Amino acid sequence: MRRAVKARAGHTSEGTLERLEALCRERGQRLTRQRRAVLRKLAAERRALSAYELLARLRPEDGRSTPAGVYRALEFLMEAGVVHRLESTRSFILCEHPDAPHGGQLLICRVCGQVVEAEDEPVAAATGRLGERLGFSLDPRVLELTGVCARCRARSAAH
The structural domain count of the chain equals: 2
**b/e string for 90-111 if b means 16 or more Cβ within 10 A?**
ebbbbbbebeeeeebbbbbbee
Residue 42 belongs to what domain range? 11-101
Over residues 85-123, the pLDDT tens digits come to 999 999 999 887 777 667 689 999 999 999 998 888 899
Residues 41 and 71 in one domain: yes
Is residue 97 in a domain? yes
Residues 17 and 95 in one domain: yes
Which amino acid, residue 73?
A: A
Is residue 2 in a domain? no
- What local confidence, expressed as pLDDT, does residue 14 receive? 66
DSSP-derived pairing of the beta strands 105-109 and 115-120: antiparallel
- What local confidence, expressed as pLDDT, does residue 96 receive? 79
Is residue 4 in a domain? no
CA dihedral defined by 49, 37, 30, 51, rounded to 10 degrees? 30
The enclosing domain of 123 has a CATH number of 3.30.1490.190
- What local confidence, expressed as pLDDT, does residue 1 receive? 33
Residues 50 and 16 in one domain: yes
The enclosing domain of 41 has a CATH number of 1.10.10.10
Residues 97 and 109 in one domain: no
Give the residues of the chain that fall short of pLDDT 70.
1-16, 100-101, 103
Is residue 64 in a domain? yes
DSSP-assigned letter for residue 46: S
- What local confidence, expressed as pLDDT, does residue 13 receive? 56
Residues 97 and 123 in one domain: no
CA distance 115 to 11: 11
Is residue 1 in a domain? no
CA distance 4 to 99: 18
DSSP-assigned letter for residue 49: B
Is residue 3 in a domain? no
Residues 66 and 122 in one domain: no
Residues 109 and 89 in one domain: no
Residues 95 and 108 in one domain: no
Residues 57 and 108 in one domain: no
DSSP-derived pairing of the beta strands 143-147 and 105-109: parallel
DSSP string, 62-111: -TT--HHHHHHHHHHHHHTTSEEEETTTTEEEE-S-TTS----EEEEETT
- What local confidence, expressed as pLDDT, does residue 110 receive? 93
| pTM (two decimals) | 0.78
